[in-house]
Amino acid sequence: MNYNEQTTIAAISTAMSNSGIGIVRMTGEDSVEIADRIYRGKKNKKLSGQMSHTIHYGYICDGDEVIDEVLVMLMRGPHTYTGEDTVEINCHGGVYVVKKVLETVIKYGARPAEPGEFTKRAFLNGKMDLSQAEAVGDLITAQNEYALKSSVSQLKGNVKEKISNIRQKIIYHTAFIETALDDPEHISVDGYGEKLKVTVDELIGDIRHLLDTCDDGRILKEGVNTVILGKPNAGKSSLMNAFLGEDRAIVTDIAGTTRDVLEEHINLQGISLNIMDTAGIRDTEDIVEKIGVDKAINYAKDADLILFVIDASSELDENDIEILKMIQGKQAIILLNKSDLDMIVTKKVIENKVNELQPVNSSETENHNPIIEVSAKEKSGIAEFEQILKDMFYDGKLTFNDEIYITNVRQKTALQEAYRSLQKVNESIEMGMPEDFYSIDLLDAYESLGSITGETIGEDLVNEIFSKFCMGK
């Protein structure tokens, strides 16, 4: 695939804030020629006469006006990010001077790049497949170590390789069936359905494994949706402030201070938490507070993780019991707060109460949620909480030893479509349908998987995907 609009594009590739260095990137067939018009080096050497992948000291000028002192990197295609001639101007990082350099580049022949257009050109010029291109966007927006590793893995082509292997097996069997149907005298398909089913079952298993990673992939990419629950004055807001390291939530001795959901993003042990402090759970006649309580309950239903905060210095009441019932069967950590005071509620008390609430024949009694003694005031127990959090979500659940995680909704949808198509193949085999029925659904699966890597995808969708990228990438 070759992409050539006969245009050279340019954009600022660094953040628009004052910094040591700012980079203006230019790519396209005229990029070196445009650079020659505005670059002044020692002895008036032209960049067009220099070797590829070299850096040159000089000045960017608009006629006789010197704009900035720069280092210019010259890279000739096809050995560049986009596959085209590329020039990167490293200038001083002041917002005004970087914009001025870009304006000069555009004045002398380039046009402003659209969001994601550099990576779009890399994709269309065959420098990367679509899954790798999407990984670039994920890499830029990664908010934790695990999301970063997952994006790098996908950028290296792990998803591409897995999908390509599955597609190769599908097209092999499709080609065999089509050839046999065209030449039945020489190629027999007797009993082929049974042989095909073995392969299809394997492929369904492979796709099922990829689909099983989607939830973990979302957590890696977006963070763990975490809700703090507890009765009023249990210390929910104080704990949230302790996690954040700053006073973001209002803390008073007045019950019902928190009436709405306060959302914050924190990073603990390399794990991103989208944490929500909620109104205290209790029966109330206050209309505004009741709305807050209802919100808290609804958020808890869809949460990846619930932090149940208990005031350990006072007896359990009906509000605590209701929350204990609410978190049964969910990923939750029970935090016994105010451990710096005389503790009335201990781990043993909670364990006994949970056992009482469990059905007699339930197997969940062996899988109690972790219980930690903490103190928001003394900031104790936080390290233990962080370790347990890491153990819950990553030890034995998420690994990075050659594991592939699907973090993209579009890719997940394509996998689901391929999965359904392969299931139809098995249904046709079991019903004894003619072989041409097999090939129809096999090709559908092949096409769906091809959309992940961009081999079977329309122009409109390509434009939509890259429009979400940042400018200059």
Nearest-angstrom CA–CA distance, 76 and 70: 19
Is 307 in contact with 229 (CB distance < 8 Å)? yes
Nearest-angstrom CA–CA distance, 105 and 32: 11
Instruction: Tell me whether residue 346 is annotated as binding.
Output: no
Instruction: Tell me whether residue 234 is annotated as binding.
Output: yes
Instruction: Tell me whether residue 88 is annotated as binding.
Output: yes
The DSSP secondary structure of 178-231, one letter per residue, reads HHHHH-TTT---TTHHHHHHHHHHHHHHHHHHHHHTHHHHHHHHH-EEEEEE-S
Instruction: Tell me whether residue 256 is annotated as binding.
Output: yes
Instruction: Tell me whether residue 63 is annotated as binding.
Output: no
The DSSP secondary structure of 124-183, one letter per residue, reads HTTSS-HHHHHHHHHHHH--SHHHHHHHHHHHTTHHHHHHHHHHHHHHHHHHHHHHHHH-
Instruction: Tell me whether residue 25 is annotated as binding.
Output: yes
Nearest-angstrom CA–CA distance, 342 and 306: 25
Q: Token pair of 68, please?
A: 């900035």
- Tell how far CA 262 is from the center of its chain: 23
Instruction: Tell me whether residue 253 is annotated as binding.
Output: yes
**Sign of the alpha-carbon dihedral angle for 131, 4, 78, 119:** negative
Instruction: Tell me whether residue 278 is annotated as binding.
Output: yes
The DSSP secondary structure of 14-82, one letter per residue, reads S-SS-EEEEEEEEESTTHHHHHHHHEEEGGG--GGGSPSSEEEEEEEEETTEEEEEEEEEEE-TTSSSS
Give me the amino acid identity at 41: G
Nearest one of 67, 60, 49, 69 to 26, comparing CA atoms:
60
Half-sphere exposure of 235 (CA within 13 A, CB side): 25
Half-sphere exposure of 128 (CA within 13 A, CB side): 22
Q: Token pair of 405, please?
A: 């995680």
Instruction: Tell me whether residue 280 is annotated as binding.
Output: yes
Instruction: Tell me whether residue 238 is annotated as binding.
Output: yes
Query: Edge-to-edge strands of the sheet including 371-373?
Result: 262-268, 271-277, 224-229, 305-311, 332-337, 371-373
Instruction: Tell me whether residue 252 is annotated as binding.
Output: yes
Could you tell me which residues are annotated as the binding site for GTP? Answer: 233-238, 252-258, 277-280
Could you tell me which residues are annotated as the binding site for K(+)? Answer: 233, 252, 254, 257
Could you tell me which residues are annotated as the binding site for (6S)-5-formyl-5,6,7,8-tetrahydrofolate? Answer: 25, 88, 127, 473
Could you tell me which residues are annotated as the binding site? Answer: 25, 88, 127, 233-238, 252-258, 277-280, 473
